[in-house]
A and B are shown apart, each in its own frame.
Chain A
Amino acid sequence: MAFEAYDEYEQSEKLRQWLRENGLSIAVGIVLGLLLIFGWQQWRSHRAQHRAEAAARYDALQMAADAQQTEQADTLTDQLMKDYADTPYAAFAAGERAARLIDKGQFDQARTALAWAEAHAGDAALKSLFTLRLARVDLAQGKADAALARLGTLPAGTYVALAQELRGDALVKLGRGSDAHAAYAAALAALPEDAPQRSLLQVKLDDTTPAGGSK
């Protein structure tokens, strides 16, 4: 009740003095706080807009690719890789570029695009996906050993079915039939029961039956 002991004039004087001493820091605090809130919101809306732009460009890229407008697709891909590398769309666009290049037999350029996607994947599971695709290109270029080595770098338990099938393909190429057989068996075990590629994988498995029969 100390404050009430003063009369009104003294009270107001006290208040003024207090304000003189602390007014600046209060004002700075309020401004800072407002800036922080405002800035946070700005940043969030900027980020959302940035992502939406990337999504829209990626959409346009899909349409261009479906319509076989390669030039436009390439322009959009470049744009995504340059300005939107912090979104997953850039990596996917690079991956699609690689698929187009592979259709034309340009493996080395496809490899570059996939390596870029691998480096910018932003997530371990996505990164492994592009590693897997690089291994597929290795094998397509006849580098079965390189493909095997690359598949070996995948974290255990990721993309088991796809990776083991590819491993089997590489091992067949190297003439290691019974190792391939084991790899195909592992791939088949990892595939869901209703996966349509089971029959193809079964054929690969049967084709590598070792002399002692399948285990």
Chain B
Amino acid sequence: MLTKLREMFSGWVSKVVFGLLVFVFSFFGIESYFVARTDTFVAKVNGHEVSQQDFRTAMDNFRQRALQQSGGKLDGSYFEKPEVKRQVLDALIDRQLVLQAGDKLGAAVSDAQVRDAIAAIPAFQIDGKFDDGTYRAVLASQGMSPLTFQERVRSDLQAEVLPQAIGASALATDADVDAYLRLRGQTRDIRYALLPAPAVGDGAVSDDEIAAYYKAHPSDFMNPETVALQYLELNAADLKVDATVDDESLRKRYEEEKQRFVLPEQRLVSHILVKVPANATPAQQKAALEKAQKLDAEAKAPGADFAKLAEQYSDDLGSKRQGGDLGWISKGETDPAFESALFALQKGQISAPVLSSEGYHVIWLRDVRSGQAKPFEEVKDDLAKQMLDSERERKFSEVAGKLTDLIYQDPSSLEPAAKALGLTIQTTPPFTRSGGAGIAANPKVVEAAFSNGVLVEGNTSDPVELGPNHIVVVHVAKHTPATPKPLAEVRDVIRQRVLTERAEAAAKQRADALYAKLRQDGDLAAVAAEAGVQVQTAAGVGRDAQQPDAALVEAVFRMPYPAGGKPGTALVPLAHGAFALVALDAVHAGDPAKVAPAERAMLRQQLARLYGTEAAREFIAALRSGAKIDVAEDRMQ
């Protein structure tokens, strides 16, 4: 049979099979050369693709962080904005650039660094120590293998290598600090003349002017947008609880929770401490014990004054001044050795020296307040109230859960939920974004009322917490968009404004004319005389000075230096159309020598840190300008 097979395969059958195989293998996969490959990357950085998956993960992380930082205040639509998405993508691209540069230059992360970084993550720790079981369990719950996670941590660390090294090697010199200090401590000598705010006249304002103003400033004359709400309120305090509180069940509960009503035994203690250093030699320990024994004997001697001894000899700085008094102590508050000695004493006794982690204690038990149970009758009312409260709470969370379910089922109306739970639909009067009365006084309610889901989509809000065990859900009853106020209503306001603007424009014109003169001649006295105002002087004005006027001081430090025998000059607008004409006579640099060396060192570090952070940023910018980066905005999903 084998011969037969062989004959057959050496014949035409084999040729056909062979031919078929050749055909299949040579053309298999060839379609990929003809069909355009569909790209899936979001960005391509020097040939490395940032996948949509990477982008989504980064977006999720960003969302989580941003929500946490804003306390959940950010709207979901914020994360849909193209510029926000782009910001996240840019961070991914930067990361890729730094990784590539690091690889090219030879940056690396050692296994030990990866290990340390993982061990330092709190989620993998038990009692502050890394725990392998927890590590594996946490990873497993996120569907990740330890190897994948290690690689992720490694690449995170790797992306930090260069920026961190750039920051760590940043430098700032004494010259930089001096320059800063000279500027910070700079003072300026000025003269100035105040042109007072113009009086608003009572001139004629034509109807046309008023109409034009009204037209030009529509947003100034609007009735604000308002909303009126329907709401369901659920308050644990209003819930009827039908649990019966009879004596029997109360007594049962009392028995169960008896220790709650027992005061622990307390002991009034004084002590004398003879300190033993943590790494004491046997000789030191012995000396301390002898000293303690001697003090013990003295304290036990008839007529001895324990407090005085403590004051004189105790090494416990905290209690020494009070004659060794430690106050009332109950179990579980002090060192175990100290405690067992203390609770073995009878009232008035003094112990033999006791060794604790601090040293030898001589303990004097001054008084005992024994633990007593409160009788049932005394706590009965409290118990009854507690039982009702917990029953009420239970009922509240039950009803609140039902309410939430019902809203999710039908977010378009409050009726079904109200009917099913026996709640009444209440209403608020209309209120604006700045809130109103009743539940509308609560900012959380206002925020919910004007949120996208409630106001625009017309859904019922999620439960809003007004207090502990007190929630409302709201639904828009009536929404009034902002409407322009009628012209007649705002006519007087506009007239006043037009008059004010007129007066201020005139004042500005006058001030500009005076300033032109001042700039030309540098003679403030002459200009002030012409304006009929006084010249005032202020010498040694510092940057943060509030006198003569904070706005004036700020402007003074933006003025050009005096030059060629002429003062620097400026015209500074103040509030309500008032102006100051200013002449800068002298600039005094701050004295760097006056600053203490410690502060200088700190400033130099701060400057170095600023320069370092900026250098790292600009390093990445340089990498970016030399890289080939394709971004597929349409795939930023």
B611 at the interface (CB under 8 A from A): yes
Of residues 355 through 383 on chain B, the ones whose CB sits less than 8 Å from some CB of chain A are none
Q: Among B105, B543, B560, which residue has its beta carbon within 8 angstroms of that of A123?
A: B105
What residues of chain B lie closer than 8 Å to A102, measured between beta carbons?
Answer: 171, 173
A82 to chain B, nearest CB (A): 16
- With a cutoff of 8 Å between Cβ atoms, the chain A residues found around residue B111 in the complex are 52
For the complex, is A74 an interface residue (Cβ under 8 Å from B)?
no
Minimum distance in angstroms from A47 CB to a CB of chain B:
8
Tell me how many residue pairs across A and B have CB atoms closer than 8 Å. 139
Q: Could you tell me which residues of chain B, from 580 to 637, have a CB within 8 Å of some CB in chain A?
A: 604, 608, 610-611, 614-615, 617-619, 622-623, 625-626
User: What's the dominant secondary structure at chain A's contact region?
Assistant: helix
The answer to whether A200 and B168 have CB atoms under 8 Å apart is no
Is residue A146 contacting chain B, with contact meaning CB distance below 8 A?
A: no
Assuming the contacts A52-B111, A206-B558, asked whether A162 and B176 have C-beta atoms less than 8 A apart, the reply is no
Q: A126-B105, A160-B618, A162-B615 are in contact. Are A98 and B625 (CB under 8 A)?
A: no
Interface residues on A, range: 35 or more
- A204 cross-chain contacts in B, Cβ below 8 A: 183
Q: Which residues of A contact B543 (CB under 8 A)?
A: 203
Q: Indicate if the CB atoms of B109 and A88 lie closer than 8 Å.
A: no
Partner-contacting stretch, out of A6-14, A24-32, A135-143: A135-143
Contact present for B186 and A89 (CB under 8 Å): no
Contact of A206 (CB < 8 Å), options: B101, B180, B557, B614? B557
| Cβ of B165 under 8 Å from chain A | yes
Q: Determine if B558 and A124 form an interchain contact, defined as CB atoms under 8 angstroms apart.
A: no
Instruction: Name the B residues within 8 Å of A200 (CB-CB).
Output: 180, 610
A207 to B171, CA, bound (A): 24
A55, A102, A137, A158 pick with most chain B CB within 10 angstroms: A55
B110 within 8 A of A: yes
Cross-chain contact A129 with B183 (CB below 8 angstroms): no
Which of A58, A87, A169, A192 meets B179, CB within 8 Å? A169
User: What is the CB-to-nearest-CB distance from B84 to chain A, in angstroms, rounded to a whole number?
Assistant: 15
Q: Is A39 an interface residue (CB 8 A)?
A: no
Given A62-B168, A133-B171, A169-B179, answer yes or no on A99-B608 (Cβ-Cβ < 8 Å).
Answer: yes
Residue from B169, B557, B563, B608 in contact with A92 in the complex, judged by beta carbons closer than 8 Å: B169
CB pair A128 B622 closer than 8 Å: yes
Against A, the Cβ 8 Å flags (1 = close, 0 = not) of B18-36 are: 0000000000000000000
CA–CA, A103 and B600, complex, Å: 11
Residues of B within 8 A of A118 (CB): none
How far is A161 from B610 in the complex, measured between Cα atoms in Å? Answer: 12
Q: A62-B168, A96-B168, A99-B608 are in contact. Are A161 and B109 (CB under 8 A)?
A: no
Given contacts A51-B107, A88-B106, contact A213 B619 (CB under 8 A): no
A159 at the interface (CB under 8 A from B): yes
Pick the residue among A129, A136, A196, A210 that contacts B619 (CB under 8 A).
A129
Please tell me if B113 contacts chain A, counting CB pairs below 8 Å.
Answer: yes
Measured in the bound complex, the distance between the Cα atoms of B555 and A206 in whole Å is 9
Q: Check B112 for interface membership: any CB of A closer than 8 A.
A: yes
Closest to A47 in B: B106
Report the interface size class on chain B. Answer: 35 or more
Output the nearest chain A residue to B543 by Cβ-Cβ distance. Answer: A203
**With A159-B622, A162-B611 given, is the CB distance from A136 to B173 under 8 Å?**
yes
Instruction: Look across to chain A and name the residue whose beta carbon is closest to the beta carbon of B604.
Output: A103
In the assembled complex, the CB of B561 is this many whole angstroms from the nearest CB of chain A, namely 7
Bound state CA distance, A119 and B99, in angstroms? 22
**B103-127 vs A, Cβ < 8 Å mask (1 yes, 0 no):** 0111111111100000000000000
Q: Is the CB of B560 within 8 A of A213?
A: yes
Check A58–B560 contact: CB distance below 8 A: no
Residue of B nearest to A56 (CB): B110
Chain A, residue nearest B622 (CB): A125
Task: Fill in one digit per residue for A140-178: 1 if any B CB lies within 8 Å of its CB, else 0.
Answer: 101000000000000001111110000001001000010
Q: In the bound complex, what is the Cα–Cα distance between A123 and B101 (angstroms)?
A: 9
For the complex, give the distance between the alpha carbons of A53 and B111 in Å.
10
- Cβ of B324 < 8 Å from any Cβ of A? no
Q: Which of B105, B169, B617 lies in contact with A87, CB distance below 8 A?
A: B105
Is A59 part of the binding interface, using a Cβ–Cβ cutoff of 8 Å? Answer: yes
* Shortest Cβ gap from A145 to chain B (Å): 15
Q: Is B162 an interface residue (CB 8 A)?
A: yes
Q: Is A76 an interface residue (CB 8 A)?
A: no
Task: Let me know if B329 is at the binding interface, CB within 8 A.
Answer: no
**By the criterion CB–CB under 8 Å, are B174 and A140 in contact?**
yes
- On chain A, the residues within 8 Å of B617 by CB distance are 192
Chain A residues with CB below 8 A from B10, complex form = 4
Asked, given contacts A59-B113, A99-B170, A125-B626, whether A211 binds B108 with beta carbons under 8 Å apart, the answer is: no
- From 140 to 198 in chain B, residues with beta carbon under 8 angstroms from any chain A beta carbon are 161-162, 165-166, 168-176, 179-180, 183-184, 186
Q: CB-CB < 8 A to A86: which residues of B?
A: 106
List of 10 A-B pairs having minimum Cβ-Cβ separation, nearest first? A95-B169, A51-B108, A140-B173, A125-B622, A87-B106, A99-B171, A140-B175, A92-B165, A88-B105, A52-B110
- What are some 9 contacts across the A-B interface (CB < 8 A)? A52-B111, A56-B110, A86-B106, A122-B106, A125-B101, A159-B622, A169-B176, A209-B559, A213-B560
Q: What 19 additional pairs, Cβ within 8 angstroms, besides A52-B108, A87-B105, A128-B622?
A: A51-B106, A51-B107, A52-B111, A55-B113, A59-B113, A92-B166, A99-B171, A123-B104, A125-B623, A132-B615, A136-B171, A136-B172, A136-B176, A142-B175, A157-B622, A159-B619, A160-B618, A207-B186, A207-B557
B interface residue numbers (CB < 8 A to A): 10, 101-102, 104-113, 161-162, 165-166, 168-176, 179-180, 183-184, 186, 543, 557-561, 563, 568, 604, 608, 610-611, 614-615, 617-619, 622-623, 625-626
